[in-house]
Each structure stands twice: as C-alpha cells, then as structure tokens.
Structure 1
Amino acid sequence: MTLAHAHMLRGSVHSLAATFAIAFFAAPVLAQMPTGPPVVGYTIAEKKPVTQVEEFIGRIEAVNTVNVVARVTGQLEETTFVEGAEVKKGDVLYRLERPPFEALVQNAQAAVNQYKALLRNAVLTTGRAKSLLSGPAGQQASVDSAIAQQHAYEAQILGAEAQLKTAEINLGYTTITAPIDGKIGRTAVNVGNIVGPNSGTLTKIVSQDPMYVVFPVPAPTLMELRKMYLPKGGFKAVVLRIRLPDGSLYPQKGKLDFVDPTVATSTDTVLVRGEIPNPLAKPAKPGEITIRPLIDGEFITALIEGVEPVIALAIPRSAVLADQQGDYVYVINPDDVVTQRRIQLGQSTPALAMVSTGLSEGERVVTEGIQRVRPDIKVVPQPAGSDPTKSHGQ
C-alpha cells in the first residue's frame, strides 16, 4: 500500500466516525424537541331544528294470512296457480272432481220435486174431503187427516230444499278460490291425490300491500313518547320509517295504528304496530312471480320520527364519548385548554346528539382529533373540516 493510499483510508475512517458520532448524539436531542399542542377540529354547539327519532327492533307482518284448505273430500283434478305469484280474491286455485257432487245435487232436486208432487195431491185430497163434509158421507176426521198430510208434505219439501242447498254448496266447494288478494306459496298436494277437510293446508296466501310493522317498545320509553306527542296529535304527530336488514333506509313512509293495551310482564314492553306501503319493485303480468321489498316475518329497525322538528342544542353525534359514568364531550375553553364535560342527552338522531344539560350554546366542542386530546391540555383549535396545514402557514 502506498503512502497516498494509506492517507486516504485514514481520512475515510475519520469521516465515518465523525458522522456516526453526530448521528448518535443528535438523535436524543431531536427526540426531546417539543412537538407543540395538537391540532383539533371543533364544532360550535348551537340550537337548530332537529327531527327526533327513536329506533326499535321489529319485524314485518302481513295484514292477512290465509291457509287454504279443502272443504269437501274429493280427488284433486287441477292446480291453476303459479307458485310465488300474486292472486286476486276469487281467482281459481284448485279444482276437485265434480261428478259425485253433481249427482248429489240431482238426487236432492229429485226429492224436492217428489215432495212437491205429493203436496199437490194432498191439497186436492183436502179439497175433496172438505166438499164432502156438508153431505151425508162427509166426516171431519177425513178432513183433519188430509190437512195433516198436506202439512207433512210441506215440511218434507223444506227439508228436501235444505238438502238441495247443501248439495249445491258442496258442489261449489269443488272449485277452491282465493279468499284474499296476496302472494301465494307453494302447493302441498299434487294432482291425483284425495284431499279433504282433514288434509291440512293446501297452500298459503299472504297479503302484500300494505304491510304491518310490529315492534316492542319499553314501557318507560312509551310513556316519554306519549308525553311528547299526545299534545301534538298522537299518531298524527309521528311518521314511521324502517331500516332494512342491509342498513338502507326504506323510501316509503308509514303511520302508527295500534298500541297494545297491556304490558308484557316478562319484558316490560308494549307492542306497537304501524302500517307501511309495500309496492311492487317492478310491474308484473298476471301469473308472474312478483317482487316486493318487504317480506312477511323479516326483521327490520323501526324508526319513529316526529313530524315537526324541535329546536334543541345539538352537536355531532361523533363528538359524544361514553364511559362507566355516562356521556361526555371535550370542550375547548377561551384559553384553548381542553376540559372534559359530562352531558345529558335528549332524544337524538344517528347524526346529531341533542344535549339536555351540561353544555351551553356557543361553546366549542372537539369533533376532530379526539384521540389526540386529554383533559387540561392546550390545543390548537380550528373549525371542523378546515385544512390543518393552512393554520400553520404551510
């Protein structure tokens, strides 16, 4: 190694050592440099019109549900509906064999005709007996007997006509029709089977529009709602909305129509019911399978909204925190120091929290950067939604 090369090597080693020393000793100094107060966004607590909303878990229930059964016994000859389609009241669903029942009608009609013929003869006999009564051959007993026979035939005619009516009704039962409008389910029997009153449900029809919304309300909450809305018109003062299982808000609005007169002792709740439209998702031709947004039995979230907004002190719901002691917010005082403030919430919405006590109008509430604050620290406040770089002149 030449002298020049050795000199260059020693210079590189000294330079590397100096760089390491600067980095080693400078790192703690940089770590100890103050970062400054955290920047937080705030919202001013102010009074504003707020739509009051209460949420309850409930379910959809059909207004009418009918189990279709056979009322006479016979062989099933035809099924005329499409499973899953909607039917109208009076639409033919099933046809049973008719000949046995037609024969019963004819037999009953023959009995009526027979007794009517006998009655006509009895009337003539009574007339002859009465005409002979004034002569030497007339006897009162003959007249009485003829009249009694006449009345007997009249009674037999009434019985025969009743039998005829029954036979005609049973003949009509061989055609099974829809008793209500609604969506029809699948059939439980196939053509060729013998069905009758003991065969059970042949199919089910569920009404579709409107639908009921049924949900339990805690008894104390119901009392609060009554105090709030009875002076404003009761049911007319609220609107029923629902949130579907996928989290979306159903566009149709409904109305409440029933509150159960008793409290369920096991849950301390009262059953409340509303009615809401359930229109077709798209037009359907007769016999086509239809689609509607609400289904009998599905679980939903019922929302009771006040028709008229109320003026209340409101802040974003995201500003409200909670612990074992209750709800609280972080408030920025005039010296830009954060303080923890316990609050009492009133009827709120998913987006806005209405504050009953603990907060005054005009106070600054931390809504952004909450994770960076703690009580009694100084912060750099700026209106929520503003650019933090601009506040530092960057």
Structure 2
Amino acid sequence: MPAHAMSERQLSTTRSSWFSRLPLPISVSSRCVQAEVLWAVLTLTLTGCEPAPTPPAQHELPPPSVIAVAAETKTIEEEARFVGRVVAVDRVELRARVEGFLKERRFQEGQAVAVGEVLFVIEPDQYQAVVKQREADLEKAKADAQNAEAQLKRGQELLDQKNIAQAKVDELQAAAAVAKASIAQAEAALTAARLDLSYTQITAPIAGRIGLSKLSVGNLVGPSSGVLATIVSRDPIYVQFPVTQRDLLAARRQIESKGGDPRKVVIQVRLPDGQLYAHSGHLDFVDVTTDRTTDSVTLRASLPNPEGLLVDGQYVGVVVQSGEPEAAILIPQSALQVDQQGLYVLIVDADNTARIRRVQTGQTKGAEIAITQGLNVGDLVIVEGTQGVTPGRLVKAAPPQKSETGTKP
C-alpha cells in the first residue's frame, strides 16, 4: 500500500475519533440557539406583515374671532392744522405814575375787574397838601389880578384928567396883564396837582381778569417800580398762528375755486387735552408783512370765550376748515395696515372670508379717516383681531360692543 494512502486513512480515523470525543452539551446548545433565532425571524416576519396603525386625525382650528364695522358715509370738512397762540384782545400792565407808599390793594388776584374799578391806593396825603397849596396860589393870583384891574381903571381916569403920565398907565396895563397870566399859571399848577392826586388811585382801564400783584402793601412804589399787576381781557379773544405763503396761496385758490369767501373761513381750536373748543371763530386779520426767516404770514382769528377756557399766551392747535362739508366714506384709523405695497384694510366678504382691499386715504376726523378709493359703503372692515387673520381664511365677525354709559350705583 502506498504511503500517501496510508496517511489519508490515518488522518480520517483521527478526525472521527476527535469528533467523537467532543462533549454532548455543546451540540445541544447550538441546536437551541438555532431554534431561538429561527423563532425570532418568524416573529418579526409575521409582525411586519401586519398593517401600520393609522395616526389620529388632526382637528381643524375654528375660525378666528374679529371685530368688524361697516364703512359709512359721513360729512367731513377739508381742513388744515396749525399751531397757534392765544392772545388777549386787550392787555394792560398797571404801573405807578407817582411816587409814594402803597396803602391799599383792593382786589383779589385772579378776579374779574370792571372799567374804572380802584385796584391800588398810594398814600395821598402829600398830594392832597399840594392841591390845597395850588388852590391858595390860584386865589392869590385872582386877587392880584383884581387889584391890577382896579389900579388900571383908576389910572385911566387920572389920564383923562391929565393928572398922570401915559407911561404910568402903560405900566398899570402891563401889571394887569401879568396878574391875569398868573391866574392861568395857578390854574395849570392846580390841575397838575389834582392829576397827581388822582394817580394815587390806580384804576382798571379795561375790563378783564387781573393777575398776580408784584408788590404788597407798604412798599414804596413809583414810575421806576415796574409792573404792579396785569389785566387781560377775556371775551372775545384772539388766536394767532403762522402760515407759509405757499399754504396761504393754495388755500385761497382752493376756497375761491369752490365759490367760497376766504374771509368766512371757519376757525376751530383744539385744546391741550385733544378736545375741540366748543366755540368757532373767523379770520379777522392777515399780517401785512412776511417773516423773512420763515416766509410765513401771521393770521389772526377772533373767537368767543365766555367760559374763559382760553388763556392769554396759551398754545393751542388751530383747525382751519377750508371748504364746505362733503360726504365721504369713513372708517376707524385702527383698521389701516401697511406693507410694502402701501395701505390696505382687511374686510369680511359675503362668505365670511377675510380679503385684502388696497385703499387711499383723505382727511381725518377724530379717530376716523376718510377713504377716497378702495371701499364701498357697507363693506365690513376688520378693526380688531387682525393679528390672527390670514387673507382667504374664514373668520367669525362680530360688531363692536357699545360702551355702557350708565352710572354704577
């Protein structure tokens, strides 16, 4: 037998004997592992064949709630707005015209005073004494004049009898003339003294309200003491405001093109709290010169002021109505929105769907603004709740709630 065949037979016998010597638990363990793997594969396969669970359906969001108002037609006036200052028709600063100690103050600061009412009294004693002295001087001048006339008459009689020289008569005539002039001089001095005495009572030259007193009783006052108090008239009152030449010419042309009279332009005043003053007025003066630095002209309007709400020197808004009232579509200004294309509003159509409307605006009237293009009367315009609105989506529109005006118990 060949040697290599003998080797293969020995090798096979060796392998068989090696496998036969392996322990039995290893073989059983491998079969168990294979069974478990097979069972897992079958389980995954069967599970993968089942249909996937259906996800829960998403609930549709309700339409957003909004507040909408109908576009209405109202009357509106074309107007221009300026800033003006209230100016009293009459304003007087009271000053002392004679020197003396302030004796009385006969008014309450801020009260209304009438023409001729005594407001301050300066001690009059020294001026009364001067008046008496001037009265005595006048009586003396009259007596001297009477004596001079008598001397002249006697001299003329003697001249007729040729018992006196003509020169002496001429002297008597001159003395009579001087005596007569002394009377006029004494009368003028008495008038001046009485005038100074009257100046010790400082009276109101105009009717109005008097302001603060600058000096109290007991102070020495005189022409150099300055203003003692100020009186300003109250009703009527002026409002002055500057207007550029360009605006003035444009307003005149616009008013005249509508057949209006520029002199009958209605002027209204807006108070510092934003409310319109109850009384309107009219222009009564246009300045005759133009401010060279601003190219503006000062206009003045006269308004009644029975309640005294307008105070001299006060800043107010001036509203100039430049035309007759006209009808226009008005909506709340809060409804306006703006984007890169310009102004627009959101409206609610017949299907309760939000839509965009591009608009053009005009004059404002309080919290409302005129729409010159883009809206029709009756269109429902969204004024509140626009943050949650998407154009093309349904909305739930409701009218604005009216504020309760009743008083609580």
Which TM-score bucket, shorter chain as reference?
0.7 to 0.9
Q: Mark the structure with the bigger radius of gyration.
A: 2
The 1:385/1:266 distance shift into structure 2, 3 A limit, reads farther
1:238-297 CA distances to partner (integer Å, 9 max, x unpaired)? 2x32222222333233333222233334334332222223234xxxxxxxxxxx433222
Question: Which residue in the other structure is 2:206 paired with?
Answer: 180
Structure 1 position 84, deviation (Å)? 2.0
The 1:324/1:305 distance shift into structure 2, 3 A limit, reads farther
Q: For the residues of structure 2 that align with 1:94 and 1:42, how far apart are their CA atoms?
A: 63
C-alpha RMSD of the superposition: 3.7
Structure 1 position 95, deviation (Å)? 1.2
Contact in 2 for aligned 1:237/1:308 (Cα 8 Å) = no
Question: Following superposition of structure 1 onto structure 2, how do residues 307-346 of structure 1 map, counting pairs within 5 Å?
Answer: 308-312=324-328, 316-321=332-337, 328-330=343-345, 338=355, 341=358, 343=360, 345-346=361-362
Matched, 1:264 2:291: yes
Contact in 1 for aligned 2:64/2:395 (Cα 8 Å) = no
The 1:38/1:107 distance shift into structure 2, 3 A limit, reads closer
Matched, 1:117 2:147: no
Question: Which residue in the other structure is 1:385 paired with?
Answer: 399
Structure 1 position 223, deviation (Å)? 2.7
The percent identity for this pair of structures is 37
Question: Which residue in the other structure is 1:214 paired with?
Answer: 240
- Flag structure 2 segments of 5+ consecutive residues without an equivalent: 1-51, 402-409
Q: What amino acid sits opposite 1:62 in the alignment? A: A
Question: Following superposition of structure 1 onto structure 2, how do residues 238-249 of structure 1 map, counting pairs within 5 Å?
Answer: 238=266, 240-249=267-276
Contact in 2 for aligned 1:259/1:272 (Cα 8 Å) = yes
Q: For the residues of structure 1 that align with 2:139 and 2:299, how far apart are their CA atoms?
A: 59
- Flag structure 1 segments of 5+ consecutive residues without an equivalent: 1-20, 281-291, 388-394
Question: Which residue in the other structure is 1:136 paired with?
Answer: 162
Structure 1 position 386, deviation (Å)? 8.2
Question: Following superposition of structure 1 onto structure 2, how do residues 80-99 of structure 1 map, counting pairs within 5 Å?
Answer: 80-99=106-125
Contact in 2 for aligned 1:98/1:171 (Cα 8 Å) = yes
Q: For the residues of structure 2 that align with 1:218 and 1:323, how far apart are their CA atoms?
A: 33
Structure 1 position 321, deviation (Å)? 4.5
Contact in 1 for aligned 2:80/2:322 (Cα 8 Å) = no
Contact in 1 for aligned 2:215/2:228 (Cα 8 Å) = yes
TM-score, normalising length: structure 2: 0.71
1:80-109 CA distances to partner (integer Å, 9 max, x unpaired)? 111222211111111111121111111111
Question: Which residue in the other structure is 2:301 paired with?
Answer: 274
TM-score, normalising length: structure 1: 0.73
Contact in 2 for aligned 1:329/1:365 (Cα 8 Å) = no
Structure 1 position 228, deviation (Å)? 3.2
The 1:217/1:242 distance shift into structure 2, 3 A limit, reads same
Q: What amino acid sits opposite 1:304 in the alignment? A: V
1:43-74 CA distances to partner (integer Å, 9 max, x unpaired)? 55x76532333332223222222111111001
Contact in 1 for aligned 2:63/2:395 (Cα 8 Å) = no
The 1:37/1:341 distance shift into structure 2, 3 A limit, reads same
